[in-house]
């Protein structure tokens, strides 16, 4: 896996499923299991990185007071960067309630 940058999330996830199936068979050697475990660890990090990158790209549509979408002058929906601290219902909860 020397070229992790070009692997898609879906490919990495699919390979993780294959590794899990292989390891669950109990028919592979300890050495092979360790190699698969190391590969799975790299794939998990890769998938996590790709998910974090995707989360950062999420944009929230801005709505006006009437809950209608706000539009730019060009007629496209107005957006703003996603911020989990601003939009999270858990982050805005009163800890005493």
The answer to whether residue 9 scores a pLDDT higher than 60 is yes
Instruction: Give strand pairing partners of 69.
Output: 63
Q: Return the pLDDT at 31.
A: 95
Under a CB-based contact definition with an 8 Å cutoff, are residues 39 and 12 in contact?
A: no
Instruction: Give strand pairing partners of 80.
Output: 60
Q: Return the pLDDT at 73.
A: 87
Instruction: Give strand pairing partners of 21.
Output: none
Q: Return the pLDDT at 55.
A: 74
The mean pLDDT of 12-37, rounded to a whole number, is: 95
CA angle 83, 48, 86 (to 5 degrees): 10
């Amino acid at each position: 896996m020397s070229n992790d940058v070009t692997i898609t999330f879906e490919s990495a996830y699919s390979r993780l499923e294959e590794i899990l199936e292989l390891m669950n068979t109990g028919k592979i050697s300890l050495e092979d299991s360790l190699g698969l475990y190391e590969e799975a660890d790299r794939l998990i990090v890769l998938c996590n990185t790709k998910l974090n990158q995707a989360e950062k790209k999420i944009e929230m549509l801005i709505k006006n007071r009437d809950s209608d979408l706000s539009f730019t002058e060009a007629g496209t929906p107005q957006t703003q960067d996603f911020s989990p601290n601003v939009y999270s219902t858990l982050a805005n909860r009163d800890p005493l309630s």
